[in-house]
């Protein structure tokens, strides 16, 4: 094979690679945990409307799901901010143990308050539903959320 025909073959090969590459890279990025959580809450809202027979109670329950979503937004923002400060503190050789403890204390206080609010929402949701309705709501598919949460928590 002459040098020019080898070059043509190489260029041809390169073109093939360039043609194939974008197709190979065009897959959608994995949704973030917050995106998965929001989609799951949309499914819960739909299930609430389908399963709770009393329209007034269904509307109230949808309001609780909205409050849950608010907590998801807050929690996600707080977590991202906390992790950024944690990385920055760790990169600072002069940061003290007390600096870390203060960071954790502040983060925990807000997290614990969210935890209390979640428990209140869950108890209100139980009070609005019958045993049967609660069981029907529990059937909302959560495989995607389970995978995302487990990956994020290092499980």
Partner 1 sequence: MVWALLFVYLTGASGVSSVIAILDSAKLSINSDIGDKARRTELLALVSDAEKTTKQYVKTGEKTTKELIDLGERHDARSAEYQAVAERMRADAEAYQDRTVSHLFALKGKMTREEWTRAFPAEKAKPEQK
Q: Does 114 engage in binding with partner 1 (CB under 8 A)?
A: yes
Q: What is the DSSP string of 57-99?
A: HHHHHHHHHHHHHHHHHHHHHHHHHHHHHHHHHHH-TT--HHH
The nearer residue to partner 1, 53 or 135, going by C-beta atoms, is 135
Q: Does 33 engage in binding with partner 1 (CB under 8 A)?
A: yes
Among 19, 23, 26, 97, binds partner 1 (CB under 8 A): 97
The nearer residue to partner 1, 6 or 39, going by C-beta atoms, is 39
- Is 36 within 8 Å of 144 (Cβ atoms)? yes
Q: Where in 74-122 does DSSP place strands (E)?
A: none
Q: Which of residues 9-28 bind partner 1 (CB under 8 A)?
A: none
Q: Does 30 engage in binding with partner 1 (CB under 8 A)?
A: no
């Amino acid at each position: 094979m002459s040098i020019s025909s080898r070059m043509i073959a190489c260029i041809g090969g390169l073109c093939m690679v360039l043609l194939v590459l974008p197709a190979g890279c065009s897959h959608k990025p994995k949704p973030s945990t917050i995106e998965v959580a929001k989609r799951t809450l949309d499914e819960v809202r739909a299930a609430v409307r389908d399963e709770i027979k009393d329209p007034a109670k269904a509307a109230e329950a949808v309001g609780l799901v909205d409050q849950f979503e608010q907590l998801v937004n807050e929690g996600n923002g707080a977590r991202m901010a906390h992790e950024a400060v944690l990385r920055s503190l760790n990169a600072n050789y002069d940061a003290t143990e007390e600096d870390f403890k203060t960071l954790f204390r502040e983060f925990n206080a807000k997290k614990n308050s969210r935890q209390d609010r979640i428990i209140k929402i869950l108890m209100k949701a139980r009070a609005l539903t019958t045993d049967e309705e609660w069981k029907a709501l529990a059937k909302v598919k959560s495989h995607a959320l389970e995978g995302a949460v487990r990956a994020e928590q290092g499980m």
